[in-house]
Amino acid sequence: MKLSHYFIPTLRDVPSEAEVISHQLMLRAGMIKKVAAGIFSYLPLGLRVLKKVENIIREEMNRAGAHELLMPMLQPAELWEESGRWKAMGKEMARLKDRHDRDFCLGPTHEEVITDIARNFLQSYRQLPVTLYQIQTKFRDEVRPRFGLMRGREFLMKDAYSFHETSEGSLKEYQNMYQAYVRIFSRCGLAFRSVEADTGNIGGSTSHEFHVLAKSGEDEILSCDQCQYSANSNLIQKKQDDVCIKCKKGKFQSYRGIEVGHIFYLGNKYSQSMKASFLNEEGKSVYFEMGCYGIGVGRTAAAAIEQNNDKDGIVWPISLAPFQVALVPLDISDSKVKTVTHALYEGLKKENIEVLEHDKDERAGVKFKDIDLIGIPIRVTLGMRGLAQNKVGIKLRNEKEEKMVDVDQALHNIIETRNELFRKINPST
C-alpha cells in the first residue's frame, strides 16, 4: 500500500479529550474518530488492527471446535423478561420501542438469544455438546464512557456459548475455552494473567478474567510468586506481600490489569429460567448446562497499545500491526532509490507481507515520525548515501539501532526478520 493512496489522518498534537495513552495514540495515528461519547468510527488503519484481533480469535475458536453464527443486535424484551434480566440490567441497557410500541433493546450481551436458539434446535443429548460464537457489536449505556475503546458504549465483542448434557461436560468445555484464550492472547503478543473473578450480572458459579498487564490498568491483579495463582484483589480482599490463599507458601505480587476477556460456567441459570431443555439418554427432559465466553475486540487492541508504546507512538506486536513493514525512501526523485524501493515493494507483496510505502515527498524526520507513531514493527530506509554503498537500513520499532544490509540480501533479511518476530510470539510458527 502506498501511503499517498491510503486514508491515514494523523494528528501532531495530543487531543485534549483523550485521557489514556491508547486513546491518544489511536486518535493521533488516525485509527478512530469520535462520533459521540463512547461511540467511535473505526478508520481504515484501526479497522485493520481490529481485523487482526478478529482473525486470531476466529482461528482459535474454530480450532477449539466452536461454530460461528451471527445474532441480531436488536432484541425483543420478551426474551429478557423470561430470564429475569429486563429489569435487572437497569439503565445500562439501551431500550427502545418500535412503531407498534413493542419493547426492544440494543443487546449488551446475547445469552437470551442464544438460549432461544438452543431450545428450538437442540432436542436430544445426541446433538450435544455444541459451542457457538459470534463477533458482533454490543451496546451498553455506560454511566461514564471513557478511555476511548477501553470503556465505550458501542463496542465489538466476541461472545461464545456452549450447551452440554452434564455439568462435567460443561466444565470440560470451560477448560477448553480457557486454553483457547491463552492461545489467543499469546498470539496477540501480549503479557497477560488469567485470574479468578466475580461472575457479576452474567451469573453462574465460576469465572475467570483475562487481564493484559499495563500500568494504566483499572484493576489490581494479585499473583502468587510460587504457585502462580492469580485473582482480582476485589475478589479475595488481599494485598501485595500477603500470603497466597492457595499454596499458603508464596506471597502475592501486585500488577495492574486491563480486562480483555471473561469466561463463565453458567450451569442452568438461563436454560432453567427460559425452559430450554432436551431429552437425555433415558428420555427425560432436562435443562442444558451452559457456559459463556467473551473477548473485547477493540479493548484488546487498546490494551495492546497501553502495554506497548513509547514517547514516539505505538509499538505493535507483529501479529496486530496494521502493516508489518514500512518502506521509507528518503530521496524519492532519485532513480536508484525508486528502483530499489519498487523492487522491495513488489517482492514483499509477492510474499504476502503487508507493506506500507511512505512515498510522500517529505523530510526524513517527518517520515520517521509517521512510521513510529503508527507503530509498524519493521522499518526499511532507502537513501542515496546508503545505496551508493549498495546498502539499505533495517530497524525494528522497539530497537534503537539500525542495521545496514546489502541490497541483494534485503528482501531475504526483511522476510526473516518478520518471521522471527512471529516466532517469538508463537514458537510453533
Contact indicator for 374, 29 with CB cutoff of 8 Å: yes
Query: Could you tell me if residue 317 is inside a domain?
Result: no
Query: Could you tell me if residue 74 is inside a domain?
Result: yes
Of 250, 276, 310, the residue at which a domain comes to its end is 310
Q: Are residues 296 and 327 part of one domain?
A: no
Of 259, 282, 310, the residue at which a domain comes to its end is 310
Q: Distance between CA 261 and CA 249 in Å, rounded?
A: 29
Q: Are residues 342 and 242 part of one domain?
A: no
Query: Could you tell me if residue 419 is inside a domain?
Result: yes
Q: Distance between CA 291 and CA 289 in Å, rounded?
A: 7
pLDDT at 182: 97
pLDDT at 146: 84
Q: Are residues 289 and 152 part of one domain?
A: yes
Q: Are residues 376 and 238 part of one domain?
A: no
Of 248, 279, 310, the residue at which a domain comes to its end is 310
Query: Could you tell me if residue 335 is inside a domain?
Result: yes
Q: Are residues 294 and 399 part of one domain?
A: no
Q: Are residues 206 and 61 part of one domain?
A: yes
Q: Are residues 277 and 189 part of one domain?
A: yes
The type of residue at 342 is H
pLDDT at 201: 55
Query: Could you tell me if residue 315 is inside a domain?
Result: no
Running along the chain, 429 residues long, what does each successive block of 10 average in pLDDT?
A: 94 88 96 95 98 98 98 97 93 95 96 98 98 97 90 96 96 96 97 82 73 92 90 88 93 95 94 97 97 97 97 97 98 94 97 96 95 98 96 96 96 97 83
The residues pairing with 253 across neighbouring beta strands, listed in sequence order, are 223
Q: Are residues 155 and 58 part of one domain?
A: yes
Query: Could you tell me if residue 105 is inside a domain?
Result: yes
Query: Could you tell me if residue 334 is inside a domain?
Result: yes
Q: Distance between CA 189 and CA 262 in Å, rounded?
A: 18
Q: Are residues 397 and 264 part of one domain?
A: no
Query: Could you tell me if residue 228 is inside a domain?
Result: yes
Total tally of structural domains belonging to the chain: 2
Q: Distance between CA 265 and CA 184 in Å, rounded?
A: 20
Contact indicator for 263, 208 with CB cutoff of 8 Å: yes
Q: Are residues 175 and 74 part of one domain?
A: yes
pLDDT at 17: 83
Task: Supply the CATH number for residue 21's domain.
Answer: 3.30.930.10
Task: Supply the CATH number for residue 338's domain.
Answer: 3.40.50.800
Q: Are residues 297 and 365 part of one domain?
A: no
Task: Kindly report the pTM of this predicted structure.
Answer: 0.94
pLDDT at 173: 97
Q: Are residues 268 and 167 part of one domain?
A: yes
Range of the structural domain that residue 13 is part of: 3-310
